[in-house]
A and B are shown apart, each in its own frame.
Chain A
Amino acid sequence: MARYIALIVAFVIMLGIFVVGLDRDPTKLPSPLIDKPAPEYELPRVKDPLSTVGSADYAGQMVLVNIWATWCVGCRAEHDYLLQLAARSEIPIYGINWRDERDAALSWLLQLGDPYVASAYDEDGRVGIDWGVYGAPETFLISAGGSVMYKHVGPMNEATWQGEFQPRIAGQTGAIR
């Protein structure tokens, strides 16, 4: 009898492990940057290659940093939502244009609209590597103190904003929303 109980317990434990583990999406990797200082960078602007934009520009502010590219289908999918977010003035959004062509990026912003305070032009992807970017779009929530609070891989949408970003923002500012 004891043997059967032991087997059943072992089975239940393994069942638990599989139910939890197999439900996870292996393409969504947890970021090792969470709760660490966000990478510092300074890059030429997409819209004005002679001036720069970087982490110094948003020091002391809570911001979103959005990694995007014109060749990225998910970025096109989330673009309209980013425009909505920017229009609501909830939080400044800084873009990093990753591994893209400046001309294409400029056309994109002109034709589709520009939700960003500014977009940095990361031509060779070096800054992307510092952020641990492996697939656009990726959106980071940066605290006013400059640490990474959250990373979202994939297109941004209202559900993610409400479920993951809002609670963390409210937690930081202490505001009741």
Chain B
Amino acid sequence: MNRILVLCVALLISLTASAIDTGAAFEDPEMQARYENLISEVRCLVCQNQAIKDSNVFLAADLRREIRRMMTEGMSDAEIADFLVARYGDFVLYNPRKSGRTLILWITPALLLGVGAFVIVRVVRDRMKLPIDDDALKS
């Protein structure tokens, strides 16, 4: 039992090895929280399924540095997002901004859900109209 406990603790500690930036970037906890939120919303375009928070390629480190610089210069989250999208496109943000082009991205799931619901309702209603008796089936 002791060994299992030690193993669990060791595994948990090893998770901290994935922390990329050594130490906090900002002393102010609000700025730090904002920073961590921003870097988890920006996609690392090299790895593509990691945020720049978790990636340690050049690009991720460079973008983290630029975001820190922009934050210390007083840019808002929206302005920072604009800066990144102007250079890398909508794909760089995990939550694409709502614009004319990304509208189809946001609407399609709702649309498909609506269509699916409509089909289900139709099918169920049609089935309910069928007589229970097999002999009376008409096609």
Contact = CB atoms under 8 A, between A and B. Distances in A.
A145 interface: no
A124 B46 CA distance: 17
B45 A134 contact: yes
Given A129-B66, A134-B46, A29 B89 contact: yes
Contacts of B87: 32-33, 129-132
Interface string B71-109: 000000000000001111101000000000000000000
A154 interface: no
A134 B65 CA distance: 15
* Interface SS, A side: loop
B25 interface: no
Contacts of B89: 29-32, 132
- Please indicate which of the listed interface residues B46, B85, B87, B91 has the most CB atoms of chain A within 10 Å of its own CB: B87
B86 A128 contact: no
Contacts of A32: 85-89
A55 to B, nearest CB: 15
Given A30-B89, A32-B87, A129 B45 contact: no
- Please indicate which of the listed interface residues A30, A128, A133, A134 has the most CB atoms of chain B within 10 Å of its own CB: A134
A126 B59 CA distance: 10
Nearest to A69: B58
Interface in A118-152: 124-126, 128-135
Interface of A: 26-27, 29-33, 99, 124-126, 128-135
What 8 pairs across the A-B complex have the smallest Cβ distances? Answer: A134-B45, A132-B87, A125-B62, A32-B89, A99-B58, A132-B88, A134-B59, A29-B91
